[in-house]
Structure 1
Amino acid sequence: MGSRMATSLKVMPKSLSTSVEMSQTYLPSPEQHRFYKENGYIVVKGLIDFSILYACKQRFIQICKGVVDRGNITVMKELSLINSGKTGEQLINKIQDILYDDVLCTYTENPRLLDVVSQLVGPNVTAMHSMLINKPPQTGRHPPHQDLYYFPFRPADAIVAAWTAIDTVTVENGSLYVVPGSHRAGTLYEHDYPPPVKGVTNKMYHGIVDEDRVSPPHERVNLEMSPGDTAFFHPLLVHGSGPNTTQGYRKSISCHYASSHCHYIDVRGTAQQNIAKEIEEVSQRRGIPLSFNEIWQYRAKQVKGVKCNL
């Protein structure tokens, strides 16, 4: 499985965790490139400016309250809280498809962020999947999974996720964890819904079926992060997040990017066919009968360089 890190980012090599100056550019060092290739992720401390994070957080709250037009943004509720009487920010666990929002796109098109992305996937970059995640108090985990499971485009090495802490992220409020080096197996594992917790399973939160073997707890590294810290990780990297056992929220904002040279594949007969069917059924219920690939084409936005295949 490759080299293992101890327990958290507190023990990362100093060169991988030092703060960066707030300029319009950020180029990963050769050491960061090597770390990413070996472990499947890097964390850049303080990459995103506080003013951007604050504006995105306020926009999320406005959307939760219904005081601004959400456009094509999808609002997803925490099913475990549906019958609790909670509303707005207390109930919503994420908003998706934020690429075309005038405020939230200041994150997804941030030049410092795209500098790092283009160093990992190439100069022509398409934003594919975007979300602001809000883990309300006392809500559950996201089971270990691989992001490539949701994507009908390849190659995997030309795709990367960016995940930025808006609030301070700790183990107690549900930090991300990763299994370093798990991407190097080159395997997309079988996923399905995990056993429900208190009779509730959040939609689309599939997890790796053979969880104990693929993601044993002693191999997980918790990514405790401060606001503005940004994790970049490979789509085959096994990762998840723990429950929020605190009384506060754990907000983050994320976007998946792909090289514009990526191509679409047919996922029928593969480990992805179940999630493809589920996403297509949701699209049909909303009156937009698109195929799995067409849904992703509809979501995509060119954010750097020139448009190619995606």
Structure 2
Amino acid sequence: LEDLHAGRKQLDGFFQQDKYGARTFNQHLYDQHVLDLLIDARLHKPLAACFGGEPEGIQTMHFYEGSEHPLHQDQYYLPDCMSAWIAMVRVDENNGPLIVQPGSHRGRLITKSDVPMTLQPGETYELQQHNRYFPAVKQVFRENGADAVQVLVNPGDVVLFSGKLIHGGARVLKPGARRHALACHYIPYDSENWERDWPRISFDGSRRIHYR
């Protein structure tokens, strides 16, 4: 992964962006190793227990470093989802751990009905996020009345959390420090709220395209 990031190796389909930390999107669609992690059999039982039914993998993001991402809720972007966040290195106060607001998954979810994705004249996606969406989440954070906590983990630890949980990335105290982590996102098999034409991948490896 470091060789891909530095350009020393090539992989068809490899793509990354530097906004909110260097990361790749949906690497499981062209990288068998990442696909194996997305549908690792050890994740099936806890995900199925959380959903009350079969899970399907729909997105992966590999982070090279702490994102410092503002507080947000994944279900705004990916309806009905939950996350399995896999740490590949030790994550501590220095390299930008996750920050979460405990219990916020039981509170209010900001949806596209509250903050439409439709851009206003002269507005970019980044402006929509910073001027409208992130402030709305911050207001819910204040309403919930609980402090955020950092999630400090060891290599191989997996953090499972609801897509309604308010979370973000803590400030990176050691610039340049690596924080390799794979964020895997899932939705229930019976979800009818999915909006994208991405493959929905079951833990037996089967795929389907199903969205509203």
On the 8 A contact 2:89/2:181 being kept in 1, the answer is: yes
The answer for the alignment partner of 2:24 in structure 1 is 95
1:65 partner letter: A
2:2 partner letter: I
1:141 partner letter: E
Aligned counterparts, 1:151-300, within 5 A: 151=78, 153=79, 156=80, 159-188=81-110, 208-210=134-136, 212-216=138-142, 219-247=147-175, 248-264=177-193, 293=195, 296-300=196-200
The higher-RCO structure (CA 8 Å, 6+ apart) is: 2
Q: TM-score, normalised by structure 2?
A: 0.76
2:153 partner letter: M
State the Cα deviation string for residues 166-210 of structure 1 (Å, max 9, x = none). Answer: 111112321111111112124326569xxxxxxxx9799765214
- The Cα shift of 1:93 comes to 0.6
Greater helix fraction, Structure 1 or Structure 2: 1
Q: TM-score, normalised by structure 1?
A: 0.54
Gaps of 5+ in 2: 117-124
On the 8 A contact 1:244/1:250 being kept in 2, the answer is: no
1:208 partner letter: F
The verdict on how the C-alpha distance between 1:68 and 1:122 changes in structure 2, with shifts beyond 3 A counting, is farther
Gaps of 5+ in 1: 1-59, 80-91, 193-200, 266-292
On the 8 A contact 1:176/1:222 being kept in 2, the answer is: yes
In structure 1, distance between residues paired with 2:38 and 2:146: 33
In structure 2, distance between residues paired with 1:117 and 1:232: 8
In structure 1, distance between residues paired with 2:23 and 2:199: 17
- The Cα shift of 1:244 comes to 1.0
In structure 1, distance between residues paired with 2:127 and 2:42: 33
On the 8 A contact 1:145/1:208 being kept in 2, the answer is: yes
In structure 1, distance between residues paired with 2:201 and 2:107: 30
The verdict on how the C-alpha distance between 1:105 and 1:305 changes in structure 2, with shifts beyond 3 A counting, is closer
State the Cα deviation string for residues 217-259 of structure 1 (Å, max 9, x = none). Answer: 9610111111111111111111111121114211211110111
State the Cα deviation string for residues 2-42 of structure 1 (Å, max 9, x = none). Answer: xxxxxxxxxxxxxxxxxxxxxxxxxxxxxxxxxxxxxxxxx
In structure 2, distance between residues paired with 1:180 and 1:123: 24
In structure 2, distance between residues paired with 1:115 and 1:213: 35
Alignment identity in percent?
21
